[in-house]
Chain A
Amino acid sequence: MKIVEPLSLTIAKTLADLLEDSISSISLDVLAYKLNATSGDVRKVIESFSQKGLVRLVDNQIYLTEEGQSKVA
């Protein structure tokens, strides 16, 4: 059976990829549109990320924090 990638992992990967393209921020709606998800679901995931300090959410714009991009295991 095939396993669908969980939404939170998809969002994390998309955010990490965008950073490599040197885009500093993305709006929540654009991200939801990109992933074909509802913005409510995306918001829930982003809020849990921001509680851990991995992203910053300012006026619906998502910024990746230094901690979120660090590559130390």
Chain B
Amino acid sequence: MIFENPYLPYLFTFIAAYPISMLEYGHRKFRKNYLLLFKISFPFHLYGIAHGLLATFIYWVLFKKNLLPGGEVAAILNPLTIGLGIKGITNLNFYNIVSSKGKEPSDDKVQIIPVGPKLVMDSIEKYCETLIEDNHDHYLDAYIHKSIEALRQIPPATISQEIQKYLPHSLPKIVRETFMEEVKQNIGDNNGDLYFAMRLFANQYGLNRYKKFVTHITRKRQ
């Protein structure tokens, strides 16, 4: 009997749609990290299942109350209309406008707080963002710790001199000087421990630039 349910494909679509969108999302943001994709998939699965169950429940209620139109057209039309309806509801964002009571009337800020089903999706995405960020953090750390081993034999003065060559060319002097000062100070403060200085470099100007710098300086040495 259950296989005659015209809404079943619709339920499956919902259950499948979220993992698929998750895969696309995860792939775009952070490639080749399948463990991370797996972790991210859980909230999306749950959301998809909840969505599907809601759609089936609404169908069931309508069916019991004999509110569903009959005929062959209905079998195609009904899933679509209910589906679009649910999609509309879950994508809705109800806004709650709160004006804070500031002391000065000129500083009257109007805050718009979204309250609605879309919050669920937004919070899932935010959760995924932090997951990705933390993961990227670990990845950076691992690379830097590994590269510091290779950099250990090189005197710190040479390192800070070589870093300067690997900064972006369009950097204004004020930024360049400040950055170099911070790097030198960091190496000095940590008694030659390069981690903080190198991490600062990778954070500011990207891992690619840092990798280029490391391969350059280690090759030169050999």
Residues of A within 8 A of B (CB): 1-3, 5-6, 8-9, 11-13, 15-16, 19, 49, 52, 54-55, 64, 67-73
Taking Cβ atoms with an 8 Å cutoff, the residues of B that contact A are 137, 141, 164-165, 167, 169-179, 181-182, 196, 199-200, 203-204
Residue pair B137, A16 in contact (C-beta under 8 Å) = no
Tell me the bound Cα distance from A19 to B171 in angstroms.
Answer: 13
Given contacts A1-B137, A52-B177, 10 further A-B contacts (CB under 8 A): A1-B141, A5-B200, A9-B175, A9-B178, A12-B174, A49-B174, A68-B174, A71-B170, A73-B167, A73-B176
Task: State the CA gap A67–B172 with chains docked (Å).
Answer: 9
Residues of A within 8 A of B204 (CB): 5, 9
| A69:B174 contact, CB within 8 angstroms | yes
B199 touches A54 (CB 8 A): no
Chain B residues whose CB sits within 8 angstroms of the CB of A12 once the complex forms = 174-175, 177-179
State in angstroms the CA–CA spacing of A5 and B164 once bound together. Answer: 18
Choose among B165, B177, B182 the residue that contacts A54 (Cβ–Cβ < 8 A).
B177
Which residues of A lie under 8 Å from residue B182 when comparing CB positions? 6, 8-9
In the complex, chain A residues whose CB is within 8 Å of the CB of B203: 3, 5
Pairs of residues from A and B, 6 with the lowest C-beta to C-beta distance, nearest first = A12-B178, A68-B174, A16-B172, A54-B174, A12-B175, A12-B174
B144 → A minimal CB distance (Å): 10
- Closest residue of A by beta carbon distance from B174: A68
Sample of 29 A–B contacts (CB below 8 Å): A1-B137, A1-B141, A2-B137, A3-B200, A6-B182, A8-B178, A8-B182, A9-B178, A9-B182, A12-B175, A12-B177, A12-B179, A13-B175, A16-B172, A49-B174, A54-B174, A55-B174, A64-B174, A67-B173, A68-B173, A69-B174, A70-B173, A71-B171, A71-B172, A71-B173, A72-B173, A73-B165, A73-B167, A73-B169
In the complex formed, the residue of A with least CB distance to B179 is: A9
C-alpha spacing A71/B169, complex, angstroms: 7
What's the minimum C-beta distance from B216 to chain A, rounded to whole angstroms? 16
Q: Distance (Å) between the CB of B129 and the closest chain A CB?
A: 14
**Chain A positions within 8 Å of B177 at CB level:** 12, 52, 54
